[in-house]
Amino acid sequence: MKLQSSRAARLSTAVLPLLLSACAGLHSEAAESIPLVVSTWPFGKIANDIAIADLIEGRPRLDAVEAGIREIERQSCDGSVGLGGRPNAAGYAQLDACIMDGPGARAGSVAAVEGIVHPITAARRVMENTKHVMLTGEGARWFALSQGLESVPVEDLEAKKRAWRDNGNGAEGKREGHDTIALLVLDGDRHVAGGCSTSGAGGKLPGRVGDSPILGSGLYVDEAVGAAGATGRGENVMRHCGTFLIVELMRSGLHPRAACEEAIHRIASKDPLGYRLDICFIAIDKQGRFGAAASNQRFPFAVTTAGRSEIRYVEPVRQR
């Protein structure tokens, strides 16, 4: 592979060998036609199909992101997203979500919000209708209600909280999984956007916030480069700013798949868990290329264009 000297000069000695060695195995993740939608897990295909239809019909990219994720929230797919997702240790759901647009680096986020049917919509309203980026807990619920968003009663939650406290519980409950819908879009004009939504880790302590609503952790979008999303054990993503790292690796010249893999290697090299991190990443770049990587499992992710919609798999990264 021949690189122009000006470009090669910008690549660090650490990144350039990775770029060269990765190219041979990336033919299956070559540039796709646009618009392009990539998301986490097999249920992401449901969201992708809705998002791509919106993009083909000329709707704005943020509408496509929101519409796709709203459907996963509505269905509470895999018991991981929306009010039907896994409850916390006190027995009720607290939801996290964020949305980010490439142009202008606009973003909105809600965390530990209760009783709001579509936290992705609440996150978008934070972005568009406030001067803030993140709202949490009771304040996030109050704001969502002030915006007329769909909700369910939460009067019974106080009794659940009180019972949990009265029983002397100060620890997490039994963990029952932790999946997330992270969805990335490259529209027909090559603008990028993304969103993320989850009910978080099952049995989490009330008030726990994972990586999903944290920009640079569960999601990061850079209009000049591309976007990345995460799923898995949130603490193991947010302690290392995983998606921000991936976008910066793509900025240095790495293919999205190579960037996802390198992020896992770097995190594993300094984390006590090593490759037992239980984290997965997806990424897209401005060229229409995409990729994914997982630390210690076979990871399915959904890829959709105007011409096809499918679920792909990546094997766990090879330890080094």
DSSP conformation letters of 75-105: HTGGGTSSTTS---TTSS--EEEEEEETGGG
Q: What are phi and psi of 63, to 5 degrees?
A: -60, -40
Q: Is the per-residue pLDDT at 293 higher than 90?
A: yes
Q: Stretch 254-266: mean pLDDT, rounded? A: 98
- Quick check: is 136 catalytic? no
pLDDT tens digits, 143-173: 999 999 999 998 888 787 777 777 766 665 5
Q: Stretch 233-239: mean pLDDT, rounded? A: 94
Q: Is the per-residue pLDDT at 11 higher than 80?
A: no
pLDDT band at 276 (very low <50, low <70, confident <90, very high): very high
pLDDT band at 296 (very low <50, low <70, confident <90, very high): very high
pLDDT band at 21 (very low <50, low <70, confident <90, very high): very low
Structure tokens belonging to residue 177: 């999984």
Q: Which of 31-40, 113-122, 130-139, 258-267 has the lowest mean pLDDT?
A: 31-40
What local confidence, expressed as pLDDT, does residue 172 receive? Answer: 59
For residue 128, count other CB atoms closer than 10 A to its CB: 13
Q: Is the per-residue pLDDT at 1 higher than 90?
A: no
Structure tokens belonging to residue 195: 């969103």
Q: What are phi and psi of 155, to 5 degrees?
A: -60, -30
For residue 57, count other CB atoms closer than 10 A to its CB: 9
| Whole-number average pLDDT of the chain | 89
pLDDT band at 18 (very low <50, low <70, confident <90, very high): very low
pLDDT tens digits, 53-81: 999 999 999 999 999 999 999 999 878 89
Using CA of residue 229, residue 232, residue 234, residue 240, what is the dihedral sign?
negative
Q: Is the per-residue pLDDT at 26 higher than 60?
A: no
What local confidence, expressed as pLDDT, does residue 301 receive? Answer: 98
Q: Stretch 43-60: mean pLDDT, rounded? A: 97
Q: CA–CA separation, 125 vs 31, rounded Å?
A: 33
pLDDT band at 175 (very low <50, low <70, confident <90, very high): low
Q: Is the per-residue pLDDT at 45 higher than 90?
A: yes
Q: CA–CA separation, 182 vs 106, rounded Å?
A: 17
Would you say the pTM of this structure is higher than 0.85?
yes
Q: CA–CA separation, 180 vs 221, rounded Å?
A: 17
What local confidence, expressed as pLDDT, does residue 162 receive? Answer: 77
Structure tokens belonging to residue 196: 């993320």
Q: CA–CA separation, 223 vs 187, rounded Å?
A: 12
What local confidence, expressed as pLDDT, does residue 23 receive? Answer: 41
pLDDT band at 179 (very low <50, low <70, confident <90, very high): confident
Q: Is the per-residue pLDDT at 246 higher than 90?
A: yes
What local confidence, expressed as pLDDT, does residue 165 receive? Answer: 72
Catalytic residue among 40, 130, 136, 180: 180
pLDDT tens digits, 87-130: 999 889 999 999 999 999 999 999 999 999 999 999 999 999 99
Q: Is the per-residue pLDDT at 212 higher than 70?
A: yes
Q: CA–CA separation, 304 vs 144, rounded Å?
A: 31
On whether the CB atoms of residues 297 and 319 are closer than 8 A, the answer is no
- CA within 13 Å, CB half, 264: 29
> What residue segments make up the domains of the chain, in order of their start?
28-314
CATH code for residues 28-314: 3.60.20.30
Q: Spell out where the chain has E strands.
A: 36-40, 95-101, 106-113, 134-136, 181-186, 192-198, 219-222, 226-232, 279-285, 290-294, 299-305, 309-314
What local confidence, expressed as pLDDT, does residue 6 receive? Answer: 42
